[in-house]
Structure 1
Amino acid sequence: MASYKIGVLYGDGIGPEITKATVDVLSAASRLVGTTHFEYVELPMGWNGIEQYNDPMPQFTKDALKETHGWIMGPHDSAAYPAEHKINRNPSGELRISFDLYANVRPAKTMEGIRSVVGEADLVIYRENTEGYYSDRNMFVGTGEWMVTPDIVISSGVFTRKAIERIAHAAFKMAGQRRKKVTIVHKANVIKLGSGLFLNVCREVGQQYPEVEIDDYHIDAMAAHLVRRAKDFDVIVTENMFGDILSDLAGELVGSLGLAPSINSNDQQAMAQAAHGSAPDIAGKNIANPTGIMLSTVMFLDWLSVQHNDSNVAEIARIIENGLLTAVSDGVKTRDLGGSASTTEFTQAIIERLGV
């Protein structure tokens, strides 16, 4: 029996509720297959980290994660942390940098039973995750911002060939498994050097994948094209901030940002993390929608199955995905989607449909 060690970081706000729901579904699905064992390692993060270690992302947690195959991370409420913790990277940013999780992969796909603004769509955004315009993570020491005077701030963007090449390769490899089209999103007409390097290096990498069609759009035009014709896009590759903005837009267009999944990965580990926040206003009310983090875990399982050539893990992923989609198609929905199911009722409905 194959065994995998998975970190579980419950997080803040609705995090404990939706993360527990996800672990319950994963455990039920793995029992159906019976050939795979998951060992869950629960670790402090967010307010739990502050209470135990005076750190929302304790070194203890990071050290323990090094010994896992990957982890499921609930949302964090860093905006509410004490002032001394706000000056540092938030928990997810800290893990992305500490583990060099360079690829943030965010699909946007319409679901039966969920109203879409744009009709049918099935695309995936590959977001470079370690540099770009994110000033809290684009320097080796310190941050990429300077306050020259109380009235003048300079914020930097960082673009390196190494980072661009590896996210481009990831995007083109995925396109080869899908509809064989990559769209590069940039702003090279204005940010000629930084964004220009991103565009040019992506095109260079694309030459190694002759079967994949390539086009490119400026970020502002791309936002409009997503709204008008999202169904035409397959794989989109872009830098950190543009990817963050476009993926939120795409998630909302196909149904709701609250449903949007993602993984953050390097070549050895991956982190399942829903695209949405911690929603502290509904925390503890048993009404949160766990779909985003559940589908993120499905993505993580697919990644794990490829990394370890383990088809049984992929089977577990399909069981969870089919169970969730069947529940939604059958009309079982949480309140944010117009239904009446609680978090636990929605989770139980999925478990009842596993293997059907």
Structure 2
Amino acid sequence: MANRYRIGLIDGDGIGPEIVPAAARVADQALAAVGREVDWVPLELGRTTIDKYGTAMPEATLAALDDLDLWILGPHDSASYPPEHRTGLTPGGVVRKRYDLYANIRPALAHDGVHATNPDLDLVIVRENSEGLYADRNMARGTGEFMPTPDVALSVGVITRAATRRIAVSAFELARSRRKHVTIVHKANVLSMTTGLFRDVCREVAEGYPDVRVDDEHVDAMAAHLVRRGGRFDVIVTENLFGDILSDLAAELAGSLGIAASINTSATKAMAQAAHGAAPDIAGRGVANPVGIIGSTAMLLEWQALRSDDMALRTAAENMRGAIGETLSAGVATADLGGTASTASFVEAVLGALEGPGR
């Protein structure tokens, strides 16, 4: 039915079973208000499936994802897995590679009511997600790291024209819906062939977007700029490792990694996954911050809205973000933001905000 969507729901490890269902609750209420419904498809991966099936990434889960275009993935804590399950791809790595989720979109927004090092921050980091120096992404077989001797370790970084072009297009298309400004981040003064290629291909793509202002920065200078003058940036496009580091920095400058939303997309599939990890030290205590995964779920709905031309989904996504903002502005916050709210009480406050005027 046109008004129903099937979305996978994967709790994952650590705080995942606390925050992922919370995101589904918020999405259900926001969607019901605009006449849309979700058939949630519960799926498993992570530590519990190692105990049940002997693998962190069950084939049944992958088979189900093959038939889904949208899913929410909770964090995984592969560092806690038994030693024999720590080699090879992580569950998230398997999913990214299998479905070629090449674009990792990570906004950083400073909210009223949240103490932010940079209160003017409102930017999006568009991170190339399929290659670079990440060993689980840059080889057809095996990894990109190897040791010719026990005392020497080497890593292969891969930058291709094709992958750079498609992430650059994603960045420039996004910029057209925002403030029409793209900053290309690289390190071409040292890594002249690899990140130099990335910079140059992004500049080539920029020629097709004369309405978008373009500049570029070295990654070390960019880190300093984010701290001092992050409010001047709009869309930042960069390769994998740089994007991972800069997006975590931007999230903390905005207030906390716990509020950092993120989606991973291909041309046909999208996965909501908060930028933070599994936080095993607070798992089960009911104090985890659900803002990141709720915001990621809103991004997932917005991605589907553009793909299916269903603007009701965009309205639901905007209302979810608005309810998060109102809740934080009212001083309701979890401990990582200096508040006293539990996960459950924070979610109840967001649900209450969704019932406010205009929603």
Bin the TM-score by the shorter chain: over 0.9
Counterpart of 1:192 in structure 2: which amino acid? S
Query: What is the distance in 2 between the residues matched to 1:97 and 1:55?
Result: 17
Within a 5 Å distance, the mapping from 1:267-306 to structure 2 comes to 267-306=267-306
What SS does structure 2 have at the residue aligned with 1:147? Answer: strand
Conserved 8 A contact 1:319-1:355:
no
2:228: which partner in 1? Answer: 228
Matched to 1:140, the amino acid is A
Q: Which residue of 2 aligns with 1:154?
A: 154
Q: Which amino acid aligns with 1:319?
A: N
Assess if the C-alpha contact under 8 Å between 1:172 and 1:212 holds in 2.
Answer: yes
**Number of residue pairs the alignment of both structures matches:** 355
* Corresponding position of 1:15: 16
Q: 1:69: Cα distance to partner?
A: 2.3
Residue matched to 1:4: 5
Equivalent residue, structure 2, for 1:218: 218
Question: Secondary structure of the equivalent of 1:314?
Answer: helix
Question: In structure 1, what is the Cα distance between the partners aligned to 2:48 and 2:312?
Answer: 34
The structural deviation recorded for 1:156 is 0.5
Deviation digits for residues 313-342 of structure 1, max 9, x if unmatched?
111112211222111111111122121111
Q: Is the 8 A contact 1:14 1:280 kept in 2?
A: yes
> In the TM superposition, what are the counterparts of 1:83-122 in structure 2 within 5 Å?
83-122=83-122
- The equivalent residue for 1:349 is 349
Determine the C-alpha separation between the residues in 2 that align with 1:276 and 1:248: 8
Displacement of 1:215 after TM fit?
A: 0.8
- Give the drift of 1:116: 1.1
Question: What is the rounded CA distance, in whole Å, between the counterparts of 2:136 and 2:320 in structure 1?
Answer: 35
Secondary structure at 2:245 match in 1? helix
CA distance in 1, matches of 2:6, 2:51: 25
Q: Tell me the CA shift for residue 172 of structure 1.
A: 0.5
Distance apart, 1:311 and its partner CA: 0.9
Aligned to 1:265: 265
In 1: Cα distance, 2:71 partner to 2:49 partner: 16
Tell me, yes or no, if structure 1 residue 163 matches structure 2 residue 186: no
Q: Which amino acid in 2 is paired with 1:71?
A: W
Report the residue type matching 1:284 in the other structure.
G
Alpha-carbon shift at residue 3 of structure 1 (Å): 1.5
The SS at the match of 1:282 is coil
Helix, strand or coil at the partner of 1:4: strand
- Give 1:351 deviation, angstroms: 0.8
Q: Is the 8 A contact 1:4 1:69 kept in 2?
A: no
Post-superposition shift, 1:197? 0.6
State the one-letter code of the partner of 2:104.
N
TM-superposed CA distance for 1:234, in Å, is: 0.6
Match of 2:43 in 1: 43
Gaps of 5+ in 2: none
Dislocated runs of 4+, deviation >6 Å: none
Q: CA RMSD, aligned part only?
A: 1.0
Q: Which amino acid aligns with 1:243?
A: G
Whole-Å Cα distance in 1 between the matches of residues 274 and 62 of structure 2?
20
Q: What amino acid is the match of 1:159?
A: I
| Structure 2 residue aligned with 1:74 | 74
Equivalent-residue separation in structure 2 for 1:241 and 1:254 (angstroms)? 20
Question: More displaced, 337-346 or 24-33?
Answer: 24-33
Structure 1 portions without partners, runs of 5+: none
Measured in 2, the distance between the counterparts of 1:325 and 1:119 equals 14
Measured in 2, the distance between the counterparts of 1:316 and 1:281 equals: 33
Corresponding position of 1:240: 240
3-state SS, counterpart of residue 280 of structure 1: coil
Using the TM superposition, give the Cα deviation of residue 196 of structure 1 relative to its aligned residue in structure 2, in angstroms. 0.9
Instruction: Find the aligned partners of 2:74 and 2:210 in 1 and give their Cα distance.
Output: 39
3-state SS of paired residue (2:33): helix
Structure 1 partner of 2:63: 63
Query: How far apart are residue 86 of structure 1 and its match?
Result: 0.9
Is the Cα–Cα contact under 8 Å of residues 111 and 119 in structure 2 kept in the other structure? Answer: no
Amino acid corresponding to residue 14 of structure 1 in structure 2: I
TM-score of the pair, normalised by structure 2: 0.97
Q: Describe the SS at the equivalent of 1:281.
A: coil
1:31 CA displacement = 2.1
Deviates more, 1:333-342 or 1:216-225: 333-342
